[in-house]
Amino acid sequence: MNQYKRLDRKLIKKGSIIDYYNDIIEVNHEKQVIFDYIDHKGAAAMIPVSSDGKIIMVRQYRNAINQYSLEIPAGGLNPGEDPMACAIRECEEETGYQAKNAHHLIDVFTTVAFSNEKICIYYTDDLSPSKQNLDEDEFVTVEKYSLEDLVKMILNGEIQDAKTIAGILAYKNKIS
């Protein structure tokens, strides 16, 4: 088995959400290679289940893929913020529904090949209507779906967002 040892990490670009580094890695005590590394502050997401059993989803434009994406509400952690508090905050900000409590479901590392981004995913069925409080660059449409419809959308490729796929399938498994 090859041995990997990080020799150095060089900051290439500091961003508002991520920082980009080049890691110099020694492989098997023989050679050095450069790996791209993206440092992420972490995030949290919520599966909000309405009183009629529908899951509240958000549809928003995603620049990286140049298309709209149907997702569970989620967002980045503020410095020092607890992931559950973040999930509850993001749920209300994006959907206009306040979660009175939340239950941890699953944690997901989104892209282990080059990033440490970890999303902690929660669910709630204890919601009360509130109001959206979107960031200035967010334009979000709120939609409701049955769990069965969301699973079908995942399996036929309509939903491709990793956190949403992991969260919905973990929730389905939890309640089955």
Q: Which residues are catalytic?
A: 136
Which backbone phi and psi does 43 adopt, to 5 degrees? -150, 170
Strand partners, 108: 119
Q: Residues 60, 37: contact at Cβ < 8 Å? A: no
How many angstroms separate the CA atoms of 45 and 69, rounded? 15
Vertex 113, ends 109 and 116: CA angle to 5°?
40
Give the residues across from 122 on adjacent strands: 46, 104
Tell me the β-bridge partners of 38: 20, 115
